[in-house]
Amino acid sequence: MARQTFSTSDAPAPVAQYSQAARVGPLVAVAGQVGIDPGTGAMAGPGVTEQTRQTMANIVAVLEAAGLTLDDVVRMDCFVTDVADVPAFNEAYAAWFPDSPPARTTVVVGLMDGLRVEVTALAVAG
């Protein structure tokens, strides 16, 4: 099967050699998205709540470029820089999945300066 890639200006442009999303068969993998506003190129704010909201909006934009929605997501991998931020992250994240959230892993990691959260998604088309 051939790989198809997707991109949108409604999410931050890749900063290295990767696609915003790639599809093989029905599987669509969304590359890690962060809390950068694609319109300004700036972080959505210093806090995990603002960055989580923007991160999720970026994921939605990439999914839409691939013809999908959050309803198609089966797994999310979430990376947070401070374990103390996990409750605020969970609250901001939950707003995007009021019912039947996908499977999820959350890990505390180091990210680039000022970034507090990064999220990847795996979706299944059709």
Tell me the backbone φ, ψ of residue 81, rounded to 5 degrees.
-85, -15
Cα(31)–Cα(19) distance, rounded to whole angstroms? 7
Cα(82)–Cα(118) distance, rounded to whole angstroms? 12
Cα(33)–Cα(55) distance, rounded to whole angstroms? 6
pLDDT in tens, 18-70: 999 999 999 999 999 999 999 999 999 999 999 999 999 999 999 999 999 99
Q: pTM for the whole thing?
A: 0.95
CATH number of 4-124: 3.30.1330.40
The residue extents of the domains of the chain are: 4-124
For residues 111 and 116, which has the higher predicted lDDT (pLDDT)?
A: 116
